[in-house]
Amino acid sequence: MGLSHHRSVTFLILIVVAPMFAMCIAHAAVYINDPLLAEQWGWYRIDADRAYESGVSGSGVIVAVLDSGVNSSHPDLSGKIIEGWNYVDNNDDVMDEDGHGTMVAGIIAAMANNSIGIAGVASNVSIMPLKVLSSSGGSWTDLDKAILKAAHSGARIITMSLGGEYSRPSMAIEAAINHAYQDGCLLVAAAGNDNNSEPFYPAACENVIAVAAIDQVSIKAAFSNYGEYIDFCAPGVNILTTSKDGNYVYGSGTSFAAPFVTGVICLMVSQYPQLTNEQVITTLRAEAEDLGEMGWDQYYGWGLVNAYAACSEIPIPEFSGSLPVLLILTLIVVLAGNLALLLKVRINRQGNITMQSLKEVNILNFPISIDLMPDS
C-alpha cells in the first residue's frame, strides 16, 4: 500500500492567536511572564509550572523531532534549533511548510519567561529537526534513516507525532528503533486519532512510549486511540502552541499529547543524566497521575505524566529479570515484633520496562495522517 492522507476523526482548530496579554495565574506570575501562558491548560495540567519554578528546564538535552520540519525563525524557538536534515528532499533545508513539526516543537521547547507567547515544558532543550513528512505524508524508509541519524547525532529523546495503522511496520523500522533504544535514546510517539484499539505504528512498537490524549476534564479525548500498547496520556485538546508563520495556533490530537511526555522526559534526563531508559520509564510510571481504572488501563496507560513529580522525586531503580504479566505483588515485611510494612508493587503487564510506539502517522493535529507503509 502506498502513502495516503488519512482523515482523522479529530477536528483541528487552526486559529492564529495575535500576541496579547492573557490573564495572569497568580502563583506563577512572579516567575513566568509569557503573555499567553494562561491559555496553556495542558502545561499547567501536568505541573510544568511547578517544574519550571523548581529550576529544571531541560538544559543540555537534545530532542530529535521527526516531523514536517520546524520554523527556526519563530521568536519563541529562536536559538533552539540545531542542525538537522530534510529526508523528504534530501537536503539540509528543514523549514516547515506544513506547520505540524513547528507545533510539536513549541509544546516541548518554546522559550519561557521571555515576555512573548507561550512556554514549553522543557524550555532550554535543543531541537534537532529531522524532516520526514510533507503535507502529503512520508515513508517508512525516511523514518528509519531519521531514527538512526538522531541516535548517532547526540539526541537523547526522539519524538514522533506520526504513524500508520497497519499490522506492523517494516523490519528496518523496528531494527532502527531497537538500535536507538539500546544506544540510550528514549522514543516517544503519538497513539493515533481514530478512536480505536488497532495498533498504530511506530507507537505500538516495542521500545517506543505510546501516548494517548485527554481533554480539559481529564477524560480520554474523543479521537484518541486506545489499546494494549498505550503507555501514558497527556493533554491533547485545544493545545496552544507555535505556528509556522511565527504566531500561535490551537491544535487537537495525540500529535500534541506526545510532546508533553517528551518534554517531561527532557526535564528528567536533564536533572538526572545518569538515568537509564528503564529507570526513566519506571519513574514516569510511579509518578504518573492514575486516571481511569486503578493501575494500567487501555485508555490512559499508566496515567497522566507529571513534570514536577517526575523530576523532583528520587528516581526508581530499574527492575531486572523477567516479571509476570499485570501482577500486583503484596510483600509483608515484619519489622521488630508487631510492626509490619505493607508494600504493593505493580509490575508491567509485559514483565519488564518496555516502551511502545505510535501506530498511526498523523501529522500534528491536522486532519492529515501519514501511512508509512511501503508498497506491497
pLDDT of 331 over the 80 cut:
no
Q: Let me know if residue 281 belongs to a domain.
A: yes
Task: Judge whether 33 and 206 are in contact, CB under 8 Å.
Answer: no
DSSP structure class, residue 37: G
Q: Mean pLDDT over residues 186-208, rounded?
A: 97
Give the model's confidence band at 232: pLDDT under 50 very low, under 70 low, under 90 confident, else very high: very high
Which range among 6-15, 136-145, 192-201 shows the weakest confidence by mean pLDDT? Answer: 6-15
Tell me the per-residue pLDDT of 23-75, one tens digit each, with 9 for 90 and over: 333 344 446 999 999 999 999 999 999 999 999 999 999 999 999 999 999 99
- The predicted pLDDT at position 343 comes to 28
Please tell me whether residues 222 and 89 are part of one structural domain: yes
Please tell me whether residues 282 and 337 are part of one structural domain: no
**CA separation for the pair 298, 287 (Å, rounded):** 18
Task: Judge whether 212 and 204 are in contact, CB under 8 Å.
Answer: no
Give the burial string for 242-252 (b: 16+ CB within 10 Å, else e).
bbbeebbbbbb
Q: Let me know if residue 7 belongs to a domain.
A: no
Q: Let me know if residue 52 belongs to a domain.
A: yes
Tell me the pairing of strands 62-67 and 157-160.
parallel
- The predicted pLDDT at position 316 comes to 67
Residues in the chain: 376
pLDDT of 313 over the 90 cut:
no
Please tell me whether residues 249 and 329 are part of one structural domain: no
Return the higher-pLDDT residue of 323 and 218.
218
Q: Which three cell numbers stand for residue 239?
A: 493545545
φ/ψ of 261, rounded to 5, equals: -65, -40
Please tell me whether residues 168 and 248 are part of one structural domain: yes
Pick the catalytic residue: 96, 100, 170, 252?
100
Tell me the per-residue pLDDT of 113-136, one tens digit each, with 9 for 90 and over: 999 999 999 999 999 999 999 988
255 in catalytic set: yes
Pick the catalytic residue: 34, 47, 49, 67?
67
Pick the catalytic residue: 8, 255, 270, 357?
255
67 in catalytic set: yes
**CA separation for the pair 165, 361 (Å, rounded):** 8
Report which secondary-structure segment, H or E, holds 126: strand 126-131
**CA separation for the pair 227, 128 (Å, rounded):** 30
φ/ψ of 307, rounded to 5, equals: -65, -45
Domain count, the chain: 2
pTM over 0.85: no
Domain with 169, as residue range(s), is 26-318+353-370
